[in-house]
Amino acid sequence: MSNENLIIFDTTLRDGEQSPGASMDISEKVQIAHALEELNVDIIEAGFPIASPGDYKAVKEIAETINNSGVCALARALDKDIESAAKALENAKNPRIHTFIATSPIHMEKKLNMSPAKVIATAVHAVELSKQFTDDIEFSPEDAGRSELDFLYEIIEATIDAGAKTINIPDTVGYNLPHQFGDLIRNIIANVKNSDNAIFSVHCHNDLGLAVANSLAAVSNGARQVECTINGLGERAGNAALEEIVMSVKTRRDMFHCNTRINTKKILKCSRLVAGITGFPVQPNKAIVGKNAFAHESGIHQDGIIKSRETYEIMRAEDIGLVSNSLVLGKHSGRNAFKQKLADLNILPKETKALDDLFYKFKELADKKHEIFDEDLINIASNIQVASNIINFKYMKVLTESDKKPEAFIKLNVDGKDMEAKSSGDGAVDAAYNAIEEIIQSGCKLILYSVNNITSGTDAQGEVTVRITKDDSIFNGHGADTDIVKASVLALINALNKYKQNPNLISSKKRGI
Ligand code: KIV
Ligand code: ZN
């Protein structure tokens, strides 16, 4: 069995962020980039720097902090895009420029209004220009899945000659079928004269639900890089899901002549982080990372599993980092056990003050909630960085009664001063949000509100994600509590703190192209 490396190129922060409603702020992108580095992805596509100042800044910050994965920036085959990508990547340890131009007849004629010869010349120039900044250049013939084969051979040969080290074949509109896409990759590798000088990559969209199947067909036919996203996030129906690609290749080693470097035990953590930040929850029956992916309900299956795990399980839950909801600590647990558990979960803070705060929060939660799971600890740990907040929660009272408009009384500390307001609304959360706005007077508009339970049971912590916007800036907020109204209030306060700290932040949604 050959052991070639299958390069995992993650585009959660670029194509994933192009999902309508999935925008992330810069600190969230940096947080995800670190999680991807920990997951051991080979390349992180950090963004599209020319698209907006926010995208540029995010790529720059990621390039400056990531050491163990390559960092890539996207650029159309235009000088200004390539120069902006190169500048954003200036301090990256392993920078890659990914440049692209469309090659399908419909795109060349209707979108670019360019002749095929001009498209080739533009692509070659883009690769040559990129080469002035880095040796690691990727070229994509956009909409390759609907391009003419002979034209693809020609442009690929020319761009490899110009210096492209990776040729990425995108099925931009998710139109291909697995056997057809596999043939496409095999034909390209066989017919492009200098194909030995490049690595072939694939980038599949999921419009027909075939992104993973198409990518795997390509791997069987010689592709050695797959572009994918956590949870399959991405434009329209999304991109190929990283976790499905990686676990397919790992589980069916008998069928694939390659393996990835991914630390699969970090998959679930990454999936939850991306779901939490974007507010796009993972469906329960989603392969690999859905809540039910390793749950066995039927008596026959349970009986089989008890007798021998392999009767109904093809993968081990531990391999994706599922610690089977292990009950960890309770209200009588001491500080040492707590500290050890945080260390086991890789979330032990360096400063004593942060550990004290976490321990206090843990005790508070243990008073309300009988059983504390790993997920609860991960969650309180990610919510603890609140030291520099301008707005702090003090108190809330919410009254709901059938046939009466709910009312909320909220007390906040804003810039060291206690402030309070009372308001009504269409529901308890709406009333609380109206009261908060009466105090803060931000003028921000709520554009996303999403609730997810972290563990199961009615005493479980609910996690709320909100997204607010003002003047083209977008701010995400997260809050968790066993009381869903309080979690909602904390999430809004979290987003408003980001707004207060940086009201003119230009989000990556304000695209300049
Ligand atoms: O889907 C696509 O074609 C892309 C390219 C930029 C690779 O995202
Ligand atoms: Zn794409």
Summarised one tens digit per residue, pLDDT across range 330-367 is 778 888 888 888 887 767 887 888 888 888 888 888 88
Sequence-distant (6+) residues with CB within 8 A of 199 are: 7, 165, 166, 167, 224, 225
Q: Is the CB of 203 under 6 A from ligand 1?
A: yes
Give the closest ligand to the alpha carbon of residue 74: 1
Contact 283, 231 (CB under 8 A): no
pLDDT of residue 338: 84
Give the closest ligand to the alpha carbon of residue 171: 1
Whole-number percent of the chain with pLDDT over 70 = 92
pLDDT of residue 174: 98
Q: Is the CB of 17 under 6 A from ligand 1?
A: no
pLDDT of residue 386: 44
Per-residue HEC secondary structure of 286-322 comes to CCCCCCCCCCCCCHHHHHHHHHCHHHCCCCCHHHHCC
> What confidence category does residue 2 fall into, taking pLDDT thresholds of 50, 70 and 90?
low
Question: Which class is 391-501 in CATH?
Answer: alpha beta
Helices (H), 192-251: 211-220, 242-251
Q: What average pLDDT score do residues 465-473 get? A: 86
Tokens of 4: 């070639």
Contact 374, 328 (CB under 8 A): yes
pLDDT at 378 over 80: no
Q: Is the CB of 139 under 6 A from ligand 1?
A: no
Mutation test residue for ligand 1: of 18, 100, 171, the one with most atoms within 8 Å of CB:
100
Whole-number percent of the chain with pLDDT over 90 = 66
pLDDT at 461 over 90: no
Q: Is the CB of 507 under 6 A from ligand 1?
A: no
pLDDT of residue 476: 84
pLDDT of residue 72: 98
> What confidence category does residue 406 fall into, taking pLDDT thresholds of 50, 70 and 90?
very high
Q: Is the CB of 107 under 6 A from ligand 1?
A: no
Tokens 């306060």 found at: 493
Question: Distance (Å, rounded) from C-alpha 466 to C-alpha 453?
Answer: 15
pLDDT of residue 479: 86
Per-chain mean pLDDT for the chain: 90
Q: What average pLDDT score do residues 325-334 get? A: 69
pLDDT of residue 162: 98
Nearest protein CA to atom 4 of ligand 1, as residue: 172
Question: Distance (Å, rounded) from C-alpha 447 to C-alpha 207?
Answer: 25
Q: What average pLDDT score do residues 73-83 get? A: 98
Q: What average pLDDT score do residues 121-127 get? A: 98
| CA 74 to ligand 1: nearest atom | 6
List 141's β-bridge partners, or say none: 101
pLDDT of residue 27: 87
DSSP 14-78: TTGGGSTT----HHHHHHHHHHHHHHT-SEEEEE-GGG-HHHHHHHHHHHHH--SSEEEEEEESS
pLDDT at 170 over 90: yes
pLDDT of residue 179: 98
pLDDT of residue 383: 60
Instruction: Tell if the pTM clears 0.75, that is, is over it.
Output: yes
Give the right CATH number for 4-262 from 3.20.20.70, 2.40.110.10, 3.40.50.2300, 1.10.1070.11: 3.20.20.70
pLDDT of residue 302: 66
Q: Which of 463 and 301 is assigned the larger pLDDT?
A: 463
pLDDT of residue 503: 67
pLDDT of residue 455: 66
Highest mean pLDDT: which of 22-31, 352-361, 488-497? 488-497
Smallest CA-to-CA distance from 216 within 188, 248, 194, 189 is with: 248
Question: Distance (Å, rounded) from C-alpha 305 to C-alpha 318?
Answer: 15
> What confidence category does residue 385 fall into, taking pLDDT thresholds of 50, 70 and 90?
very low
Q: Is the CB of 14 under 6 A from ligand 1?
A: no
pLDDT at 459 over 70: no
Mutation test residue for ligand 1: of 12, 172, 176, 200, the one with most atoms within 8 Å of CB:
172
Nearest protein CA to atom 1 of ligand 1, as residue: 172
CB atoms within 10 A of CB 61: 18
List 95's β-bridge partners, or say none: 71
> What confidence category does residue 369 fall into, taking pLDDT thresholds of 50, 70 and 90?
confident
Q: Is the CB of 37 under 6 A from ligand 1?
A: no
pLDDT of residue 387: 47
Which helix (H) or strand (E) segment is 141 a member of? strand 137-142
Q: What average pLDDT score do residues 228-242 get? A: 97
Nearest protein CA to atom 8 of ligand 1, as residue: 15
Question: Distance (Å, rounded) from C-alpha 202 to C-alpha 44?
Answer: 15
Question: Distance (Å, rounded) from C-alpha 258 to C-alpha 493?
Answer: 47
Tokens of 267: 């998959």
Summarised one tens digit per residue, pLDDT across range 178-190 is 999 999 999 999 9
Quote the ligand 1 centre to 170 CA distance (angstroms). Answer: 6
Using CB atoms within 10 A of its CB, is residue 455 exposed (0-12), middle (13-18) or buried (19+)? middle
Q: What average pLDDT score do residues 419-428 get? A: 96
CA distance to 122, 185, 341, per residue, from 146 (Å): 20, 13, 52
pLDDT at 478 over 80: yes
pLDDT of residue 80: 98
Q: Is the CB of 147 under 6 A from ligand 1?
A: no
Q: Is the CB of 166 under 6 A from ligand 1?
A: no
Strands 473-481 and 462-470: antiparallel
Q: Is the CB of 16 under 6 A from ligand 1?
A: no
Q: What average pLDDT score do residues 48-66 get? A: 96
pLDDT at 488 over 80: yes
Q: What average pLDDT score do residues 414-425 get? A: 96
Summarised one tens digit per residue, pLDDT across range 281-291 is 899 899 999 98
Q: Which of 473 and 106 is assigned the larger pLDDT?
A: 106
| CA 14 to ligand 1: nearest atom | 8
Give the closest ligand to the alpha carbon of residue 169: 1
Q: Is the CB of 238 under 6 A from ligand 1?
A: no
In the chain, where the domains are located: 4-262, 391-501
Q: Which of 457 and 193 is assigned the larger pLDDT?
A: 193
Q: What average pLDDT score do residues 385-411 get? A: 88
> What confidence category does residue 38 fall into, taking pLDDT thresholds of 50, 70 and 90?
very high
